[in-house]
Structure 1
Amino acid sequence: MLACLSMALAAPASAAKIDDQFRTWLENDLWPEAQSKGISKKTFDTAFDGVEPNLKLPDLVMPGAKPTTPKKQHQAEFGSPGSYFGKIGAVTGGGRARAAQNARTLAAIEKRYGVPGDVVVAIWGRESGFGTAKIPYDAFEVLGTKAFLATRKDMFRTELLAALEMVERGLASPQAMKSSWAGALGQPQFLPTSFLKHAVDFDGDGRADIWNSTPDTLASIANYLVDYGWVKGRDWGFEVTVPEGVSCALEGPDQGKRISEWTAMGISRVNGKPFPASEARAEGFLLMPAGRSGPAFIVTPNFYVLKEYNESDLYALFIGHGADRIAHGDRDFAGTWGKVGGLYRSDVAALQRGLEKRGYDVGGADGLPGFKTRRSIGAWQAKNGEAATCFPDKGLVEAMR
């Protein structure tokens, strides 16, 4: 039966035909695995009652088509840095109010988990507007569609099976399983596997409720960070000035140095203060999310824990900076964002493929300018006698074609 299904998927199909193929896939492919994991037929049928593939979701590959890099970037976290931080005021203003309202709960969470309340609140605000954001999608529609058609089918299949497990175990009702377009649930926007691993009951009612309980939501966020290695007592990072003589290609979590060593190279905090003594003795990493066209930072391992929540430098930076503003007031970065980030994702992917052909490790030609791409650009520019900017631009795209 699976061989017949794969043959059916080989040719382009109409929406109606895709619906039929989806139903065949559910019954003949997904159901046997769900059953083997202890999912009842009642739970399975209820979850998918009336569900059809949502072909408007991004990053889908239609039956018979080949995966391609999307032309446009759907995730704001990988777009223009300046635009991304334009919304931070709503998170930090609302965050201060929520931090005051939940001060006792946040203090108890910080005592138990070691994660500052301001960090937790910043994530809460960014993910769901402190629980006020509308989350309109049916999780089984989203996860089912993506497990059937997305470029990362295996990942979404795992999440779909975890969502079924949540319902089967009575951890959530099918009606509560509303998600983002990416399948994330509740106020902390956990994927189902994250809910199963990290959600906690902090209000003492016997169940972890990330939909309606503020204590559970906040504690679950803190627990998530701790499970990924949050280091108690360390900051997330510091905005710095990087001298021209220090290469932007030194960026990345695999090129760490003691912060005192970065200081010896001429890197200093923008506010003129020395790094805290405890931080100076510890490891830090250079971060230049827009290359030479934006603010620069020395970040700690906690920055990369924040990236476990969303694999984007801008996201982790938004959370760290947002937490600082919640705690200390709305101060902008000292550095300014240049006019970068306007390229199509497909153009960045072309640039990455060009660098790969020249022997550079860009972390994969996915159209997302992560630290490996940025520092590879800087290394190529320096090798070719150009000023290293460490960020994609139109000229670089053309040079790599």
Structure 2
Amino acid sequence: MIRTLAFLIALVVALPVAGGTPARAASRGEVEALYAKWRENDLWPQARANGVSRASFDKAMKGVGLNWDLPDLAPPGFPKPEERKQSQAEFRSPGAYFSEKSLQGLAATGRSLASRHASALKRIEQKWGVPAGIIIAIWGRESGFGGARIPHSIFDVLATKAFMSTRKDLFRKELLAALEIVERGVAPGQMKSSWAGAMGQPQFLPSSYLAYAVDFDGDGRADIWNSVPDTLASIANYLSKKGWQRGRDWGFEAVIPQGVTCALEGPDRARKIADWTKMGIIRVSGRPFPDNERGQAGMVLVPAGIYGPEFIVTPNFYVIKEYNNSDLYALFIGNLADRIAWGTGSFATRWQDIGTMLRSDIARLQKTLEGQGYDVGGADGLPGYKTRRSIGEWQQKRGERPTCFPTVSMVK
């Protein structure tokens, strides 16, 4: 009788023996044996159904075992990994994300590379509408302009995580996509990735490679590992397909007057930029918003509430977040792009010290607000825009000045 993988796993997770002896944990050898069966009886049939040939499958998976050094593993038959305690995670001012030394170094290198690749970047912008500064900034942030060490075999990483990580379904999808890339003719040995399975200079997951990688140097293949033109064009194609609006900026540092609440933040509370100016919101530089932006949608962004820089951002800001779903990441890219393109510097407004809190403290604050009917976007200990504006609305209701950000005193 053919045993299913689930049945085999059940055998490895030893049942208590007579007398109540605790279950025996599986050995690595037993898990490795399960992995070999899974690869042949589960992974291969799915890859074949997706159009991957046996030759491509064998080429990709040759010598691929389990990498026990990767994080977030949950091997079958092993004790479940302890959940990361939020009480052990500190939360500080968002300003810690913006290392001036790092930004200055990336900007200097980025300007040099933008000049070196100006011809390709011009053609890329003409085709996809994404400015050179944004493309170069992402390239620099993701892989140090291709100079970062990317040491792992994509198949070692994805096979391990698809078989025994805490997010197996995600990595199984990416492993199947990686096998399709080999079927298209890319050599498995070339497919180097990070420990999380992000490949090459733009740090694409395999599914993103299949959807967005392009051949821009004309050699017949999309090479995001070695070709700078392919890398830059692939980043632009990604952003374009995610909705980049040609001719628009990413955003502007602004000043929100005291009489206008910071609780107006959020992509779902967009208004024409001209309407924000009527409310008294101006650019921090004092210059007017560009004419082509005034009649189009803009959104308030206050990543540290009133304790840091304030912004009016465009929909392109949220397209950058498609690359990495973080307000701070998108602001880093926007600021770096401006430094590369225009020679600007850090934000004009200083990030203030809000003290050090624990993520569990903020999560409790979020749960309290949820209990009062506020939509905080989830009690995860990270204050996103829904948490920030909920704090502001709660403060307004109490007759206080909205600050739209958790502080030590507020938590207490």
* Residue 300 of structure 2: aligned partner: 286
Alignment partner, residue 141 of structure 2: 126
- Distance in structure 2 (CA, Å) of the matches to 1:305 and 1:327: 19
CA distance in 1 between partners of 2:240 and 2:51 (Å): 30
What is the identity percentage for the equivalent residue pairs of Structure 1 and Structure 2?
Answer: 59
Is the 8 Å Cα contact of residues 69 and 346 (structure 1) preserved in structure 2? no
Deviation at 1:369, TM superposition (A): 2.7
SS at match of 1:254: helix
Residue of structure 1 in register with 2:17 after alignment: none
- Superposed CA deviations along residues 13-35 of structure 1, whole A, max 9, x for unmatched, are 55555444433433333232122
C-alpha displacement at 1:372, in angstroms?
A: 1.9
Partner of 1:23: 36
- Supply the AA of the counterpart residue of 2:248: R
Write the distance in 2 (CA, Å) between the matches of 1:236 and 1:368: 23
Q: C-alpha distance in 2, partners of 1:357/1:62?
A: 37
Counting matched residue pairs gives 395
For normalisation by structure 1, the TM-score amounts to: 0.89
Q: 1:362 aligns with which of 376, 399, 404?
A: 376
Let me know the Cα RMSD of the aligned residues.
Answer: 2.8
1:304-329 Cα deviation digits (max 9, x unpaired): 11111111111111111111111111
Which letter maps to 1:250?
L
Maintained 8 Å contact 1:59/1:70: no
Q: Which moved more, 1:123-132 or 1:35-44?
A: 35-44
Q: Report if aligned partners of 2:12, 2:30 keep a CA contact under 8 Å in 1.
A: no
For residue 93 of structure 1, report the CA deviation from its aligned partner. 0.9
Number of the residue aligned with 2:19: none
Superposition deviation, residue 6 in structure 1? 5.7
Equivalent residue for 1:48, pick from 27, 36, 61:
61
Is 1:85 equivalent to 2:98 in the alignment? yes
TM-score by length of 2: 0.87
Q: Which of 104, 115, 120 matches 1:100? A: 115
How far off its partner does 1:66 sit?
Answer: 7.1
Alignment of 1:2-401 (within 5 A): 2-5=5-8, 7=10, 13=26, 15-61=28-74, 63=76, 65=80, 68-69=83-84, 71=86, 81-86=94-99, 87-170=102-185, 172-340=186-354, 342-397=356-411
Distance in 1 separating the partners of 2:163 and 2:392: 39
1:387/1:211 CA distance change after superposition, 3 Å: same
Which structure 1 residue ranges, 5 or more long, are not aligned? Answer: none
Distance 1:61 1:15, change over 3 A: same
TM-superposed CA distance for 1:120, in Å, is 0.8
Q: Secondary structure in 2 aligned to 1:238?
A: strand
Q: Distance in 1 between matches of 2:62 and 2:382?
A: 36
* Separation in 2, partners of 1:184, 1:354: 37
Which SS does the other structure have where 2:214 is aligned? coil
Query: Is the Cα–Cα contact under 8 Å of residues 5 and 25 in structure 1 kept in the other structure?
Result: no
Q: 1:148 to 1:363 in 2, by over 3 A?
A: farther
Check the 8 A contact 2:202/2:235 in 1, yes or no. yes
Tell whether the 8 Å contact from 2:72 to 2:166 is kept in structure 1 after alignment: yes
1:134-193, CA deviations, whole angstroms, 9 ceiling, x for partnerless residues? 0112212222233234443322221111111111221x2111111112211111111111
Q: Secondary structure at the match of 2:299?
A: strand
Would the alpha carbon gap of residues 238 and 202 (structure 1) be closer, same or farther in structure 2, given more than 3 Å must change?
same
- Residue 382 of structure 1, CA deviation: 3.4
Judged with a 3 Å threshold, the aligned counterparts in structure 2 of structure 1 residues 10 and 70 are, in CA distance, closer, same or farther, namely farther
SS at match of 2:267: coil
Counterpart amino acid of residue 307 in structure 1: K
3-state DSSP of counterpart to 1:290? strand
Distance 2:273 2:354 in 1: 28
Gaps of 5+ in 2: 15-24
Give, in angstroms, the shift of residue 5 of structure 1: 4.8
Partner SS state of residue 120, structure 1: helix
Question: Compared with structure 1, are the counterparts of its residues 176 and 386 closer, same or farther at alpha carbon in structure 2 (3 Å cutoff)?
Answer: farther
CA drift at 1:340: 4.7
Partners of 2:333 and 2:199 in 1: how far apart? 19
2:93 touches 2:352 (CA, 8 Å); kept in 1? no
Post-superposition Cα deviations, 1:285-317, rounded to whole Å, max 9, x if no partner, equal: 011112222111000011111111111111111
For residues 60-115 of structure 1, the C-alpha deviation after alignment (integer angstroms, 9 at most, x for no partner) is: 445453783554999xxx97532221021121111000011111111111111111
Change (3 A) 1:147 1:119: same
| Most deviating of 207-216 and 21-30 | 21-30
Equivalent position amino acid for 1:247 in 2: T
Structure (1 or 2) with the larger CA radius of gyration: 2
Q: Is the 8 A contact 1:69 1:367 kept in 2?
A: no
Q: Distance in 1 between matches of 2:126 and 2:56?
A: 39
Q: Is the 8 A contact 2:355 2:408 kept in 1?
A: no
